């Protein structure tokens, strides 16, 4: 883990905030806490109601990170917004299916 590199990259379009997750592996509690802190600031400050989390770099994630995704989803719903997950690796998508979270999240898989 490179401590000098930001965990997320944020872009704003006319109606959506796009948050790109920069790490390939999201496994450690400290790392997840950093991501949580960064994303929650974005959620609180965003004027846009829709958020896309881009998983283009992510290959591995822990169950703790799934918990954070549920928390972010809940926060977005409280703000009357929507959370979408995009570029999810097919192997990670299987985890969402197994945990039934694919029924909660709007997920698009990474093209092979």
Q: What is the mean pLDDT of residues 15-34?
A: 95
Contact 26, 62 (CB under 8 A): yes
Q: Is residue 23 within 8 Å of residue 57, measured between CB atoms?
A: yes
Predicted local confidence at residue 14, as pLDDT: 86
Quote the pLDDT of residue 15.
86
Per-residue pLDDT at 112: 63
Question: Are residues 22 and 11 in contact, defined by beta-carbon separation less than 8 angstroms?
Answer: no
Q: What are the structural domains, with CATH classification, of the chain?
A: 8-109 (3.30.750.24)
SS3 assignment, position 72: helix
């Amino acid at each position: 883990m490179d401590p000098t590199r930001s965990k997320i990259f944020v872009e704003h379009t006319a109606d959506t905030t796009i948050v790109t997750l920069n790490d390939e592996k999201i496994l450690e509690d400290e790392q997840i806490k950093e991501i949580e802190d960064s994303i929650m600031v974005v959620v609180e400050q965003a004027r846009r109601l829709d958020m896309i989390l881009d998983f283009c770099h992510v290959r591995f994630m822990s169950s703790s990170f799934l918990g954070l995704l549920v928390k972010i989803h809940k926060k977005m719903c409280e703000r009357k917004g929507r959370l979408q997950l995009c570029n999810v690796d097919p192997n990670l998508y299987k985890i969402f299916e197994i945990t039934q979270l694919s029924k909660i999240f709007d997920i698009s898989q990474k093209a092979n």
